[in-house]
Amino acid sequence: MEWEVTEKTGKGRFTAQTDYIFVYGTLMKGLANHDTYLAERVGGPLPGEMKGELYHLKYGYPAAIDGPGRVKGEIYLLEDANELLPQLDYLEDFNQPGSEDLYKREIREVRDEHGNIIFCYVYLWSNNRIKELKENSVYINNGDWKKFISENNCLAEDYCGGKR
């Protein structure tokens, strides 16, 4: 995330960084990608939620976009963001050579279970693919993907709750 600061402030461009990540899908504890990418490399989890809408894609994983609802997930402290973020970028198909981004990584305001605001990296569905998202997914009204796959008795790899 980059900001252009006006001349009146006497400051120039800067890039925001954080040591936290908010996950709402397969990277959550107990799900498919947690142990491979996060276990032993992060502190947490701490329950959290951010503003947005959540969808379950027919490909078996979720996607969050901007919207008026809430997305529930987990907040983690990154022990080495410089090492871990490129690996997560690869997993989320963000900023990969020769590929159109599936997700984008941004810093968002996330509230923890106590109402505290923590600025976290989060992977959001790419704006270029919103039509694909709407055509190939199920909207998760309560914003909780872990609960959605549990209540619909499906594995993360299933397209449950919708048409194939």
Closest CA to 136 of 148, 123, 125, 147: 125
Q: Is residue 64 part of a domain?
A: yes
Q: Is residue 1 part of a domain?
A: no
Containing structural domain, residue 21: 15-151
Q: Is residue 9 part of a domain?
A: no
**What CATH number does the domain containing 57 carry?**
3.10.490.10
Each residue of 4-57: pLDDT tens digit?
333 444 454 445 689 999 999 999 999 999 999 999 999 999 999 999 999 999
Give this prediction's pTM: 0.86
Each residue of 107-136: pLDDT tens digit?
999 999 999 999 999 999 999 999 999 898
* In the block, residue with structure tokens 């400051």: 11
The backbone torsions φ and ψ at residue 163, rounded to the nearest 5 degrees and listed phi first, read -85, 150
Residue 52 token pair: 């947005």
